[in-house]
């Protein structure tokens, strides 16, 4: 009996695969902080310094990898980002997950980290990278000039005491494994029971010889008093997929997604197609929970990158100031993910409350980006207004067509008087013409 169970288990395992991967789909749907990009600027930097800093950001590849880091660190816990200088004297980022890494932490900062690289090991501390072979023998040491451990943990999930997120999303992972089992069992059942089973009732002693019972083509001749029927054992794919959809719905509801945000097609047209969507206010809510953690990681990363570059043969090594100065100048901003309709509604509410002292223009960016302080929102708003005025004033002074209606508040006095006079003159002429037509 046990041998039979073992054989069936081995057969079912042959049909196991990684789709639908519920955990991956949910992580990609919820890890949305970088969905509209991330702006990293140096406030008050010279044009030369601003260009050098922008070059380093682009060179590092963070714009390509940020989405993946966000989703992975939400699902599997902190992922450590470690800048390094390549043989071509360019900046690159190593990203290592907690499955192969351990770290000695000092609150939120890493004192030292060690991770497995192939069959070897790498130790990174405040002095150097140290490489060890599989037996633990030191093979190479590469010093750096950062002065502290250049490893920054990127966190997208508040695990509380469980900082490593060992028990986070357990329900989601269990649902993913259960769905994989259900799909494999369904495929096995449909494969082994794809043909109808023949049932013969009666005596077989007088049956004509030479016949093959259960032949798919040849007819079967039965003696008197003996009957034959076929039992359809084909399992319906919809039954297995519906069960998987129920498991996924229960799992995602625990992650802040309503059951209606997932679809698992059980029809023949899109068999087994899994789709998970998070839009509107719910998307903004996930963004607001992740952004404070990611801003802290971004602000910790780039001063480290700058100090690493300063102690290397990188082309911008002589331009960049120390990392502490970069930290004071650095501004990291994640855009609002609300829809244009929601943004317009916020502005209308703010405008309606202004005459009664119930709102302030700063309330709009604070509602869109709650990670900002009131002072940061005011600073950003004033900077945006200054940039807008600087761009619109030359156009208004030159009376560029199409710009005046969008910039009435920035028109010169002569332009405003001319505009008002023209409107009044037109109204007078229209009134006079109407009077003449009325009294011919």
pLDDT of residue 91 exceeding 70:
yes
Token pair, residue 150, equals 């250049």
Q: Is the pLDDT of residue 148 over 80?
A: yes
Which DSSP letter does residue 234 get? P
119-123 mean pLDDT: 94
Structure token pair of residue 105:
């932490």
The CA-CA-CA angle for residues 42, 377, 299, to 5°, reads 40
Q: What is the pLDDT of residues 66-81, one digit of tens each?
A: 999 999 999 999 999 9
- CA atoms within a 13 Å half-sphere pointing along the CA-CB vector of 37: 4
> How does DSSP assign 50-75, residue by residue?
HHHHHHHHHHHTHHHHHHHHHHHHHH
3-state secondary structure of 239: helix
Lowest mean pLDDT among 21-30, 264-273, 345-354: 264-273
Residue range 7-19, pLDDT digits in tens = 667 766 777 777 7
Phi, psi values for residue 335, rounded to 5°: -65, 160
* pLDDT, average across residues 336-352: 85
> Taking residues 384-408, what's their average pLDDT?
70
Sign of the four-CA dihedral 8, 14, 15, 20: positive
Mean pLDDT of 316-327: 96
In the prediction, which pLDDT does 2 show? 43
- The yes-or-no verdict on residue 102 having pLDDT over 60 is yes
Provide the mean pLDDT of the chain: 82
- For the cut 50, the answer to whether the pLDDT of residue 317 exceeds it is yes
Phi, psi angle pair for 384, to nearest 5° = -65, -40
Cβ-in-10-Å burial (0-12, 13-18, 19+) of 309 comes to: buried
Greater pLDDT, 323 or 1: 323
pLDDT of 329 > 90? The answer is yes
Give dist(CA 148, CA 153) in Å, integer: 14
pLDDT of residue 189: 77
DSSP state of 252: H
Contacts of 52 (CB under 8 A, 6+ apart): 316, 319, 320
CA–CA dist 377, 336 (Å, integer): 13
Interatomic CA distance for residues 106 and 80, integer angstroms = 15
What whole-number distance in Å separates Cα of residue 369 and Cα of residue 372?
A: 6
How high is the pLDDT of residue 397?
Answer: 75
d(CA 230, CA 214): 9
Can you list the positions of beta strands (E) in 125-196?
A: 128-132, 138-143, 152-154
pLDDT for 275 equals 64
Of 171-175, 193-197, 319-323, give the lowest mean pLDDT range: 193-197
**Cβ(251)–Cβ(222) under 8 Å?**
no
User: In which residue are the tokens 């023998």 written?
Assistant: 137
Least confident range of 166-170, 226-230, 259-263, 395-399: 259-263
* Average of per-residue pLDDT across 44-66: 95
Higher-scoring residue by pLDDT: 253, 123: 123
* CA-based nearest residue to 127, from 112, 107, 105: 112
44 contacts 306 by C-beta, under 8 angstroms: no
- Does residue 411 carry a pLDDT above 60? no
Q: How large is the average pLDDT for residues 236-255?
A: 78
**Could you tell me which residue, 382 or 261, shows the higher pLDDT?**
382
Q: Quote the pLDDT of residue 360.
A: 86
Give percent of the chain with pLDDT exceeding 90.
35
Q: Which of the residue ranges 135-149, 157-171, 296-310 would you say has the lowest mean pLDDT?
A: 157-171
3-state secondary structure of 121: strand
Instruction: Give the Cα separation of 12 and 182 in Å (integer).
Output: 10
Give the range among 49-53, 154-158, 185-189, 290-294 with minimum mean pLDDT.
185-189
Q: What is the mean pLDDT of residues 168-183?
A: 85
**Model confidence pLDDT, tens digit, residues 252-293:** 877 877 766 666 655 545 555 666 666 656 777 888 889 999
Do residues 219 and 210 lie in contact, with contact meaning Cβ atoms separated by under 8 Å?
Answer: no
**In this model, does residue 124 exceed pLDDT 50?**
yes
Question: pLDDT at position 1, please?
Answer: 37
Q: Which residues contact 147 (CB under 8 A, 6 or more apart)?
A: 126, 307
pLDDT at 242: 78
Tell me the pLDDT band of 424, cut-offs 50, 70 and 90.
low
């Amino acid at each position: 009996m046990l041998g039979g169970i073992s054989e069936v288990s081995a057969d079912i395992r042959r049909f196991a695969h990684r789709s639908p991967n519920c955990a991956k789909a949910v992580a990609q749907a919820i890890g949305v902080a970088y969905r509209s990009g991330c702006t990293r600027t140096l406030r008050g930097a010279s044009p030369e310094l601003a260009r050098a800093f922008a070059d380093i950001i682009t060179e590092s590849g963070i714009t390509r990898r940020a989405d993946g880091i966000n989703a992975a660190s939400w699902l599997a816990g902190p992922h450590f980002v470690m800048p390094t200088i390549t043989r071509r004297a360019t900046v690159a980022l190593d990203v290592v997950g907690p499955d192969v890494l351990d770290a000695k932490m000092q609150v939120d900062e890493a004192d030292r980290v060690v991770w497995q690289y192939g069959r070897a090991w790498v130790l990174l501390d405040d002095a150097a990278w140290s490489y060890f072979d599989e037996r633990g023998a030191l093979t190479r040491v590469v010093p750096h000039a950062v002065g502290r451990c250049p490893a920054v943990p990127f966190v997208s999930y508040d695990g509380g005491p469980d900082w490593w997120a060992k028990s986070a999303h357990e329900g989601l992972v269990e649902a993913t494994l259960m769905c994989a089992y259900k799909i494999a069992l369904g495929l096995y059942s449909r494969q082994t029971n794809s043909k109808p089973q023949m049932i013969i009732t009666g005596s077989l002693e007088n049956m004509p010889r030479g016949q093959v019972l259960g032949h798919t083509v040849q007819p079967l001749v039965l003696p008197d008093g003996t009957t034959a029927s076929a039992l359809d054992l084909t399992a319906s794919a919809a039954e297995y997929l519906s069960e998987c959809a129920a498991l996924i719905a229960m799992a995602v509801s625990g992650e802040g997604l309503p059951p209606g945000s997932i679809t698992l097609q059980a029809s023949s047209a899109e068999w087994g197609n899994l789709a998970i969507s998070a839009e509107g206010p719910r998307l903004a809510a996930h963004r607001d929970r992740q952004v404070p953690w990611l801003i802290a990681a971004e602000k910790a990363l780039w001063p480290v990158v700058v100090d690493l570059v300063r102690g290397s043969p990188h082309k911008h090594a002589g331009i960049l100031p120390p990392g502490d100065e970069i930290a004071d100048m650095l501004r990291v901003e994640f855009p609002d993910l609300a829809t244009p309709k929601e943004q317009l509604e916020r502005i209308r509410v703010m405008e309606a409350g202004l005459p009664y002292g119930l709102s302030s223009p700063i309330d709009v960016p604070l509602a869109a980006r709650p990670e900002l302080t009131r002072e940061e929102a005011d600073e950003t708003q004033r900077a945006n207004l200054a940039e807008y005025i600087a761009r619109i004033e030359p156009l208004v002074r030159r009376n560029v067509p199409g710009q005046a209606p969008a910039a009435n508040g920035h028109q010169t006095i002569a332009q405003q008087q001319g505009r008002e006079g023209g409107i009044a003159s037109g109204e007078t002429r229209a009134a006079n013409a109407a009077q003449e037509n009325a009294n011919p």
